Structure 1
Amino acid sequence: MNAGFRKDRAQSITSEVMEDERAPRYGPLMTTASTRPVTTDRHVGDYLREWRQRRRLSQMDLALEAEISTRHLSFLETGRSQPSREMVLLLAEKLDMPLRERNIMLVSAGFAPVYSQRSLDDPALVSMRQAVDLVLKGHDPYPALAVDRHWSLVSANEALVSLIGDVDPVLMKPPVNVLRLSIHPAGLARRIVNFTEWRNHLVHRLHRQVDATGDAVLAALIEELRSYPTPDAAARAPKTNHDHAGIVVPLQLHTEEGVLTLFSTTTIFGTPVDVTLSELAIEAFFPADPETGSALRRLAEKRQAAAAMAG
């Protein structure tokens, strides 16, 4: 990372995002969710069968969960019977379908979507946006960010922005995909000490998401991440030996303050009934050792000093 990174660089990144016509005007590094009408030309039975198989359930398993007969479920899947709105919602719940997919299945059965899908700049979500900003700001001096279902950057705190200050500006054009930013040769890849380990971790995590959601965009992202070359330095680096093996996979990142060793946690909204909120996640990084904590605090002090001089 450039040793001379200053707060004005963080502001310039914010400006690049804010000036894009697709970005709203309410906050730094924010993007809006799609609110296109829900449409489908598939039969509800096709969705039902697809999701039952994705969950690795037999017709008998799902019928027992929903307390209906296997015969009735079979008729629903083949189209011999048409489900009621309540039955669609019941089966979707038992299949643990994402809210977005529940709306699609409702539409395929001839019903209106139940779950709202607002953009992040909708006045109804102002308190939720404030909660996200509060969590991110409160996590300083440790990096944290909010992402949507496709890992597009929604918001980030200053600690995170300072760590990505030297990536190719092309990668910072909205929508900013944080996994691409991490693994792309022009992104953070050359500064990730345990690049292979970290990429394998991200790919494994994406596989789990695809299994859970069936999202084709995430499936394509897996192949994209796999296609990027391993940086020369990372290829020569020995396998990292850390105290967290078997517990968490750390991110080890070169910075002007030395190598940071970080682990992450994921926070989501509890019991959301809005599609956008259900797909929003906060990734918060924590120092995995005392040295990393000290380094992050020093980086924060440098940002504050630079801001004071600029002010």
Structure 2
Amino acid sequence: MTSDRRTPTAVPGKGVGPLLRGWREQRRISQLDLALRAESSARHISFVETGRSRPSEEFLLRLAEHLDVPVRERNALLLAAGYAPRFPETPLDDPSLDALRAGLDQLLQGYEPYPALVVDATYRVVAANRGVALLIEDVPEHLLAPPLNAMRLTLHPDGLARKIRNLGEWRGHLLHQMQRQIALHRSPALRELYDEVAAYPVADPGERPDPDEPPLPYFALPLRLEHRGRLLSFVSSIATFNTPMDVTVAELAVETLLPADPATVKHLRELMP
């Protein structure tokens, strides 16, 4: 499990005021509302945004917390205000994160035979269990070359997309998820990935119903895909870390695919006792 280092998106020569105003407007929060949440005044918020007042380090971090600014971008705000970054970005293979990696590996293994994986902010797979390996066992090598990307692997015509029964629904769900994250994180790398996967051709985006298959009620949108002649159904759950103090940890997400019907449970348990 490794991670590359990426710098905050602070713009050289651009003060903290315009950056802060940009996050506030993106969150659709007025100066007065932000001031009330941060126990300040709209006048002080205005002075900070126009550059008439320099915020203290703690006040800036308090504003970032109320604006739900991603941890990486909180460093950018601090840099723009003339302060040192507060949150480190530790490589995932650093010895200081040994306990984290061990815990994630244990979590993934404990979820077997069902698929589970860990991705970073751009959906690069940093860890996965044998359940995931089963699903991608016949994916072409060019899609499995490092760095493995979950979105590319799922939506590429040569990847899992050719086996997904409800590709139109699932593709729409994933693209909408990426759009929300782009709005939240303002990540050029994520935008580039979105443009790539959204442009993939979709030969048959609709559900291909089986007339002999009775309809099943689902409690969430399922991922329905074919595997070794069987139709498997999963629902996805995503977990992140609460109050992370490291950029790398803040950008990790654990995705688990929960079997949505007894047939899926039976098939995976037969393949992986």
> Does TM-score exceed 0.5, indicating one fold?
yes
Residue 243 (structure 1) aligned to one of 214, 217, 222? 217
Give the corresponding residue for 1:3: none
Alpha-carbon distance in 1 for matches of 2:49, 2:22: 9
Confirm whether residue 163 of structure 1 aligns to residue 105 of structure 2. no
Equivalent position of 2:268 in the other structure = 296
Stretch moving more, 266-275 or 182-191: 266-275
CA contact (8 A) 2:236 2:258 kept: yes
2:5 partner letter: S
What is the aligned-residue RMSD (CA, Å)? 1.9
Letter in 2 for 1:152: R
Match of 2:4 in 1: 33
8 Å contact kept, 2:122–2:190: yes
Please name the residue that 1:282 is paired with: 254
Instruction: Give the conservation status (yes or no) of the 8 Å contact 1:33–1:118.
Output: no
**Structure 1 equivalent of residue 44 of structure 2:** 72
Distance in 2 of aligned mates of 1:277 and 1:127: 12
Contact map agreement 1:38 1:113 (CA 8 A) in 2: no
Residue matched to 2:93 = 121
Measured in 2, the distance between the counterparts of 1:141 and 1:173 equals 24
Q: Identify the residue that residue 146 of structure 1 maps to in structure 2.
A: 118
Once the two structures are superposed, what CA deviation does each residue of 1:66-98 show, in whole Å capped at 9, x if it has no partner? 121211111111111111111211111111111
Q: Aligned match of 1:252 in 202, 214, 224?
A: 224
User: Counterparts of 1:147-296 in structure 2 under 5 Å?
Assistant: 147-232=119-204, 234-235=205-206, 237-238=208-209, 242-244=216-218, 247-296=219-268
Provide closer, same or farther for how the CA distance between residues 52 and 107 of structure 1 changes in structure 2, counting only shifts above 3 A: same
The number of residues matched between the two structures is 269
Partner SS, residue 87 of structure 1: helix
Q: Give the deviation of 1:150 after TM superposition.
A: 0.8
Distance 1:213 1:74 in 2: 24
Deviation at 1:118, TM superposition (A): 0.1
Cα drift, residue 270 of structure 1: 2.4
Instruction: Report the Cα distance in structure 2 between the residues aligned to 1:200 and 1:226, rounded to whole angstroms.
Output: 9
Counterpart Cα distance in 2 of 1:193 and 1:105: 44
Is 1:171–1:187's contact at 8 Å kept on the other side of the alignment?
Answer: yes
CA-to-aligned-CA distance 1:114-160 (integer Å, 9 cap, x gap): 11110001111000000100000000000100000111101000110
Question: Given residue 161 of structure 1, which amino acid in structure 2 is its aligned partner?
Answer: A
For the residues of structure 1 that align with 2:121 and 2:134, how far apart are their CA atoms? 24
Distance in 1, Cα, partners of 2:124 & 2:66: 29
TM-score, normalising length: structure 1: 0.82
SS in 1 for 2:117: strand
Which residue in 1 is equivalent to 2:35? 63
Return the alpha-carbon distance in structure 1 between the equivalents of residues 66 and 86 of structure 2: 17
- 1:35: Cα distance to partner? 5.5
Q: Structure 1 CA distance, aligned partners of 2:121 and 2:19?
A: 20
SS of 2:272's partner is: helix
SS in 2 for 1:155: strand
The 3 A distance-change label for structure 1 pair 281 and 99 is: same
Q: Note if 1:84 corresponds to 2:62.
A: no
CA distance in 2, matches of 1:164, 1:45: 47
**Residue aligned with 1:230, SS:** coil
Residue identity over aligned pairs, in percent, reads 46
Q: Which aligned segments of 4 or more residues in structure 1 are displaced greater than 6 angstroms? A: none
